[in-house]
């Protein structure tokens, strides 16, 4: 149990669908992250929110839209995805972003398959 939960754990969607991934952390952290983990590639940082403000957008296509309504919740809204977007999407949180070795705590991930 890491204190970071993600739903759903598995998602299959067509290219014309709209879906959302949800992440919740119960650790009292102030920074939250979305990562993409594809086979044979390093983890790719997608977005960072620090105290609800987006501080990093790692050149992510606009078909991925993050939302952070408060420090405990993070969403990733998906629309008109491509098959190459199939991957494991990991959410993480840390006490803060930057200025310190704030280790990140990861959720179990959502396995996304785009058909």
DSSP strand E in the chain: where? 4-7, 10-13, 18-25, 31-37, 44-50, 53-57, 64-70, 73-79, 87-94, 105-106, 110-114
Residue 42 sits in the site that holds other proteins (CB under 8 A): yes
Residue 105 sits in the site that holds other proteins (CB under 8 A): yes
Comparing CB distances to other proteins, the nearer of 4 and 81 is 4
Peptide bond before 8: cis, by omega within 30 degrees of 0?
yes
Write the burial class of residue 32 (CB in 10 Å: 0-12 exposed, 13-18 middle, 19+ buried).
buried
Residue 11 sits in the site that holds other proteins (CB under 8 A): no
Question: Which of 14-22, 62-70, 71-79, 96-104 is the region at the interface with other proteins (rule: CB under 8 A)?
Answer: 96-104
Residue 68 sits in the site that holds other proteins (CB under 8 A): no
| Footprint of other proteins (CB under 8 A) | 2, 4, 6, 31, 40-43, 45, 48, 50, 55-56, 90, 92, 94, 96-109
């Amino acid at each position: 149990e890491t204190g970071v939960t993600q739903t759903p754990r598995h998602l299959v969607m067509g290219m014309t669908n709209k879906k959302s991934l949800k992440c919740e952390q119960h650790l009292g952290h102030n920074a939250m992250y979305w990562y993409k983990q594809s086979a044979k590639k390093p983890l790719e940082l997608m977005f960072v929110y620090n105290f609800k403000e987006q501080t990093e957008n790692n050149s992510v296509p606009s078909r991925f839209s993050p939302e952070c309504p408060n420090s405990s919740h993070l969403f990733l809204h998906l629309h008109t995805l491509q098959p190459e977007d199939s991957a494991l999407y990991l959410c993480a949180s840390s006490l803060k972003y930057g200025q310190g070795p704030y280790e990140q705590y990861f959720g179990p991930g959502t396995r996304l398959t785009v058909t």
